[in-house]
Each structure stands twice: as structure tokens, then as C-alpha cells.
Amino acid sequence: MNIKTLVLLLSLLSGALYGRPLNVLLITGDDHGVEMDAYGDDQAHTPNLNRLGEMGVLFERGYVTQSSCSPSRSSILTGLYPHQNGQLGLAHVGYAINPELPNLAVEMKNAGYMTGIIGKLHVEPASAFPFDLDNSKFVLGSRDVAEVSRRADAFMGEAEKAGRPFFLYVNFFDPHRPYDAGAFQTKGIPSHPHTAEEVELLPFVALDFPGMRHDVAGYYSALERVDWGVGLLIEDLKRRNLLDDTLIIYVGDHGAPFARAKTTCYEAGVRIPFLVYVPGALANGSRDARFVSTVDIMPTILEAAGLEVPPGLAGRSLLPLLENDADPKWRTMIATEYTAHRVDHYYPRRAIRDGRYKLILNLESGRKNPAVPGQYKAPPEGDPWRAVMEVFLYPPRYELYDVEADPYELHNLSDDPAYADTLLKLQEELTAWRLETDDPTLDPEYLKRLGAQHAKLAGGKWVPLEEPETSSL
């Protein structure tokens, strides 16, 4: 720990301006990719999120571990990749973490924090997360952002009365599907919903499928409501004079729910808005292009609260970056994964990227990608999107993209001899990451058994693999 980070920690632990320990407000938007004004999306109207990024640090290269709700959220709460914590797919179809692992809810509660959750948890077993305030069943209702604010404000008030710092985890349902009337407008918010006639198609899947423009309009409308809700939460903190001693983190749990985004390893699926405000941090008001991951959230919160960070976490505290530390040892690559969403969406992938190139390894490339909505089909011959969608529908073993020149990953370079050295380098880096994080899919026998179990249970609920019998000889 360098001296600047130590000074920041001491100021946080002394209670900044008001003599209170640091509070923590962790906020997620459900299915929120980098569709924000501050990330260059002109269709998005997110003034409150933009302001949060201006108050603190906007990380330009923020990533989830997996572009599926439950696995992603498990990483936020445990600081581990899904293949490490066990949450390989959605919680409500049987996937779950190892309940003996440390998690944010337990660590903060044990440290004397009043803990609360508003909105969905979506990680199992729920009993592993003993929040003092448990509003995790308040899911679709969180479209009423004024009610979210009311509940959050009441929780802050209870913590204040008890003389305890708080850890509040707020999870907006928006901008998740369905894109029904409530998605376009709930309780008058937004005041002017987007319409199918005005929106532009998303650049990573610019195909005019039936209903696509309606869904894009619903997505952006719901996103504006998340922005409004974030603004209300910040106003709650201001009204209680808590803003100057509250750590605020906002992330999307993964990218937008469209083809070539959610349930993929493409940038549109794994890259997210990542905004961090720490009172008094030297880097506040800046943008940072270094790679950060949602596995960094748990160690950041624990260190900022002055708590011991459990050994073995995959992530690192972001506090040195918030102090403008030009750490030469900070990661120069970022890895992501995908195993399943629903059981019948099993299609294991691993991916890694550096500052320019991205490699995706499709571990079961011999079959069609099952996590493809029915309306998404390859365009007719002659359409420039045909080759793109064929790769999406029938992925090859490797995909290689120049994400600097081709940010939406439309041109697979893996078979181009000119990129053979780049392909080999990233293959080696990906293998090194998989070894470092004990990825069980490195074992061909495990991968075979995992695939067979998913095939057996497809359409139903997940039942974890039993350990293979070993000989006593």
C-alpha cells in the first residue's frame, strides 16, 4: 500500500467530515451495458449517472465476469469468478454458490454495519446473505424508483438512529425485459418515453428483426428510469448530510438483453458502466482507462471500510487507482467467461483481451449456440451481417477481434495468418488465467461430465455434478 492510499484510508476511517465511519451504497442496473451519454451513446439520456461519474471516477474499461444475471452478481458479492464460486448459471434454475465462501453481506454485518438489500439478490443460497433489511423480493416493483428511494431513505434513517454505518445494496430491475407498458413508463417516469420510430438500432446487432426497434425503445426508456432512481438515491444522501462519507459504486450487472450481448463474451455483453465515488479521492472527477472488473468490488469495499480482505479473492482493491497511482503491476488484460444462463443455454466459453485484441475460446464449438433468441437468424446471402450472424449462431473454436479498429467485433481474424502471433499470445495468456483461477474446464473429463449433465437436465433445473468415485487401491 503506498502512502497516498494509506492517507485516503485513514481519512475514511476517521469519518471524513462528520466523524462517522464510511457508509457504502452499491447500486446495479439490470442488463445495463455501456449505453450512457458519458460512454458515448447519444441515444441514452443519463444525466444523474453522468454526474456520478463526474463526482468520482468513471472507469472506461469496466467488465463483469459473466454476462448472465446470477453469475455476474455472485462475483460482485464474493470477489470470485463464477467457475470459482459455483454460480454457473441462473439462481432460480438451481445454480448456487458455495455458501461457505466469504461474501460482502456477511463481512460487512460482522464488522458492525447495518446491511440492507433493495431489489433482487438472484444468487443462491439466499441464506448465505443475512441482510438486516431484506427487500430482495421487491423486484419488478423497483420500477417505482420513488418507492426505492423511500425504502433506501428509511433504511439510512434507521442506521443513523442506531449509530451504525450502513451497507446498502440497491438493485434496479430496469432496464431488464419485458419491454411492456411499465418498461416504457412507470409512475410517469420517464416523462417522454422513447418510441420505435425514433430510435436507432444497436450497433453490435444492427438488424431490423421484427420487434427490434420496439425493444430498443423500451430498453432506453427503462434506462432513463434507472438514471432517475440513482439521482433520487444521491439526493437522499445529500438530505441526510451523508454524501461526504459514503462510498458509492454503480455498475451494470452485464450488457443489454439483445443478440451478441447478454449471454456472450462480446464487449456488448461483458463491458459495463463502472462508476466509483470515494469522498476525498484524488482521482475524483477523472476517467480511467485501466481494466477493472466486478471481482474488484468486494476488496474495494472491504479495504475502504478498514476491514481485512479475505485471502484468495480474484479481484483487487481499486483504492490505489482512486489515488492516481500509476501502478505498473495493475492488470493489462481482462478475462471473462460464460458457462450457462438457463440449463439449456449451456455453451461454455472463456475470453481474454488486452488493450487492442480480444480472444474468445468456444469450448463446445461443434454445435449451435443454444442461447440465441428465436427471432435472430442469419440474414440472406449478400447481406454484410450474414457472416457476423453465422459466427454468432455457429461459433468456431476461436474468435479473434481487433477491438480498437472493430469495437463491435464484426470481423473474426482467427484464421488470418497475419494475426497468428497475436492469436498464439492470447491463447497463452488465456491458459495462464485459467490455471491461475483453477478453471475446472481445463480438465477434459470434467468438461465432458459437465456437458453430459447439462444435456441430461436441459429444460429443467440444475443438479450439481457429483464428485467422481476414486479407487481405494
Enter the C-alpha cell of residue 119.
431489489
pLDDT for residue 303: 96
The whole-chain average pLDDT of the chain stands at: 94
pLDDT tens-place string over residues 143-197: 999 999 999 999 999 999 999 999 999 999 999 999 999 999 999 999 999 999 9
Least confident of 59-68, 104-113, 171-180, 366-375: 366-375
Q: Are 114 and 162 in contact (CB under 8 A)?
A: yes
- Which residues contact residue 307 at a Cβ distance below 8 angstroms, ignoring those fewer than 6 apart? 107, 108, 111
Torsion angle of C-alpha atoms 272, 273, 279, 282, degrees rounded to 10: 90
pLDDT for residue 20: 55
pLDDT for residue 21: 82
DSSP 8-state class, residue 189: B
> By C-alpha distance, which of 457, 279, 248, 262 is closest to 376?
262
Beta bridge partners of 400: 359
Least confident of 86-100, 154-168, 203-217, 426-440: 203-217
Q: Is the peptide bond before 175 cis (omega within 30 degrees of 0)?
A: yes
pLDDT at 374 over 80: no
Which band of pLDDT confidence, cut at 50, 70 and 90, is reported for residue 13?
very low
Rounded to an integer, what is the distance from CA 18 to the centroid of its chain?
Answer: 32
pLDDT at 328 over 80: no
For the entire predicted model, the pTM comes to 0.95
% residues pLDDT > 70 (the chain) = 94
- Summarize the confidence of residues 289-295 as an average pLDDT: 98
pLDDT at 19 over 80: no
- Summarize the confidence of residues 58-67 as an average pLDDT: 98
Q: Are 68 and 287 in contact (CB under 8 A)?
A: no
pLDDT at 380 over 90: no
pLDDT at 12 over 70: no
25 φ, ψ (degrees, to nearest 5)? -120, 110
pLDDT tens-place string over residues 64-91: 999 999 999 999 999 999 999 999 999 9
Cβ atoms within 10 Å of 179's Cβ, excluding its own: 19
Cα dihedral sign for 160, 162, 168, 174? negative
% residues pLDDT > 90 (the chain) = 89
- Summarize the confidence of residues 395-411 as an average pLDDT: 98
Which band of pLDDT confidence, cut at 50, 70 and 90, is reported for residue 16?
very low
Domains in the chain (CATH in brackets) are 19-323 (3.40.720.10), 334-458 (3.30.1120.10)
pLDDT for residue 17: 35
Q: What share of the chain is helix, strand, coil (3-state, %, to 5)?
A: 35, 15, 45
